[in-house]
Amino acid sequence: MMNPQETQAFMLAKSNTELVRQQNSALVLSVLRRDGRLSHTQISEATGLSSATVSAITAELERNRIIEKSEQQAAAGRGRPRVMFSQNRECGYLIVVIISSDSLNFSLVDYAGTLLDRFSERREERSAEEFTAAISGGLERLVERSSLAREQVLLVSLSSKGLVSPQEPVLVWSPMLGAQTVDFRTALGGDWGYKAVLNNETLLVAKALQQRQARAGGPTESLAAISLGHSIGLGIARRMGEGKTEISSPNLGHMLHIPGGALCRCGARGCIEAYAGFYAVLRAAFEVPLDTVPAKFVPLAEVDKIAVQARGGQRMAALAFRQAGIALGNGASRLLSLHGHMPIFITGPGIRYYDLLQAGIEEGLAQTHVVRLAGMPQLDVVADEPALVYEGHLGLAFSRLDDDIVALRAPMQAAGE
């Protein structure tokens, strides 16, 4: 019989062994997500784990119906088929909810990352209660259309513009609801709330760009994503060493640009967004007083008209875009001062006006000490922001799901044995 000290040492060693097993299992799952179906040997090469460790992990994951085996015939048609591993599509399901200024977009995805269903609904709600009711209704419609039980959905991943709590699924401030705080954990109720996670939309863009770097086989460098549109978003993916990345979404749009300046949708004066958002361009082009209450939503067609005038040489229209660019450049320079030089990717519906914004952005950057010393950062325009947001959803959500599944299902299986 062990004494208390021996018992404690035994339990600690067992706990450490279990933690290592879970980390290695999650590593195998992450490699399968990144590279697709892989053989035993390919998994070992990609993870750096020994052949014996990979065998033990894949056997356990298959036993718990987290992954499945298939056979691939040799290219020459001779010899034994190769055994390949991939996620078990029926292990569980993910729902992605993308909240935009004018719509709610719902997607249903299986555990292998296959899109099964998708639809959009126009936003017409005016209160936080109507907003969450519309989301709950969309979730119910999605599972009914696919004949799934709610229990089969493992996670509901939501995203929005605005200020998001870094710890809880709480929307602190948003362009459409303003300061009406939404706690999705309670607002969606018992069926969905405990499964909900929430991220800032531009944080997901930064995550997707970082994932694309990894898939391209190059080094995963630090990068920033700035989203241009009705609001101004920022996502940062910083390399932290040992292959780890920290992703954050500082509130760039509501950083101060000019003290006591133009009125912003947040109620403050002089924010970057109050000079660079679509409503700011509209206000400047028509020389509307700076204290005019901003519109919550400006149709792209209206901004397109101003862009046509600017490209045609109309002075105030061109000045509106130049002022927007300077505000963005000043904001980007603060990013570089705080986090160091990194490439900046510019995305969002506002990239259609990049030719009108570029000179102002570079002027705003060039005014600062950090850029004069280290030079202009790499500026790249990336189209199709919705695809980036969706990729970011899948990357973060499945990383969380993989960790949760290997932490829960394997111990339950071991206990049953």
Pair 285, 361 in one domain = yes
CATH number at residue 400: 3.30.420.40
Please determine, for residue 354, whether its predicted confidence score (pLDDT) is greater than 60.
yes
Task: Tell me if 6 is assigned to some domain.
Answer: no
CA 245/CA 24 separation, integer angstroms: 18
Is 155 a residue whose pLDDT tops 80?
Answer: yes
Q: pLDDT > 70: what percent of the chain?
A: 91
Residue 267 lies in a domain: yes
Asked if residue 146 is part of any domain, the answer here is: yes
**Are residues 346 and 248 part of one domain?**
yes
Query: Is 11's pLDDT higher than 80?
Result: no
Pairing status of strand 115-122 against strand 163-164: unpaired
Residue at a domain's end among 41, 65, 87: 87
Listed as own residue / partner, the contacts of 51-57 with beta carbons closer than 8 Å and 24 or more positions apart are: 53/24, 54/28, 57/21, 57/24, 57/25, 57/28
Mind listing the pLDDT tens digit for each residue in 198-226?
A: 999 999 999 999 989 888 776 668 999 99
Average pLDDT over residues 251-278: 95
Q: Is 86 helix (H, G, I), strand (E, B) or coil?
A: strand
- Claim to verify: residue 176 and residue 315 sit in the same structural domain: no
Identify whether residues 125 and 228 lie together within a single domain: no
**pLDDT band for position 86 (50/70/90)?**
very high
Last residue of a domain, one of 87, 117, 143: 87
Mean pLDDT in the chain? Answer: 89
- The residues facing 270 across adjacent strands are none
Q: Measured between alpha carbons, how far is residue 402 from residues 29, 61, 100, 190, 248 in Å?
A: 7, 11, 28, 23, 21
Region 268-282: mean pLDDT is: 96
Number of domains within the chain: 3
Give the integer Cα–Cα distance in Å for 334 and 340: 10
71, 87, 103 - which closes a domain: 87
| pLDDT for the residue 77 | 59
Residues 72 and 138 in one domain: no
Tell me the DSSP string of 145-192: HHT--GGGEEEEEEEESSEE-SSSSEEEEBTTTBT--EEHHHHTHHHH
pLDDT for 1 equals 52
In this structure, the answer to whether residues 167 and 239 fall within a common structural domain is: no
Percent of all residues in the chain with a pLDDT value above 90, rounded to a whole number: 69
Q: What is the pLDDT of residue 218?
A: 65
Please indicate, yes or no, if residue 346 is contained in any of the structural domains: yes
20 and 141 belong to one structural domain = no
Query: Does the structure show a pLDDT above 80 at 14?
Result: no
- Residues 358, 224, single domain; the answer is yes
pTM: 0.88
Range of the domain at 20: 14-87
Shared domain for 82 and 96, answered yes or no, is: no
Q: 189 and 77, same structural domain?
A: no
415 pLDDT band (50/70/90 cuts)?
very low
Q: Would residue 210 count as lying in a domain?
A: no
Residues 293-323 pLDDT 10s? 998 888 999 999 999 999 999 999 999 999 9
Q: Indicate if the pLDDT at residue 266 is higher than 60.
A: yes
CATH code assigned at 57: 1.10.10.10
- The pLDDT, as a whole number, for residue 410 is 53
pLDDT at 154 over 60: yes
pLDDT tens per residue across span 161-202 = 999 998 899 999 988 888 889 999 999 988 899 999 999 999
Same domain, 54 and 106: no
For residue 77, tell me if it sits in a domain: yes
Give the distance between the most distant pair of CA atoms in the chain. 89
**Spatial contact of 333 and 365, defined as CB atoms under 8 Å apart:** yes
Contact 346, 335 (CB under 8 A): no
CA distance 234 to 363: 19
Considering the domain architecture, whether residues 95 and 188 belong to the same structural domain is answered as yes
The reply to whether 212 falls in a domain is no
Strand order in the sheet with 163-164: 163-164, 170-173, 182-183
Q: What average pLDDT score do residues 33-54 get?
A: 91
Q: What pLDDT score does 9 carry?
A: 44
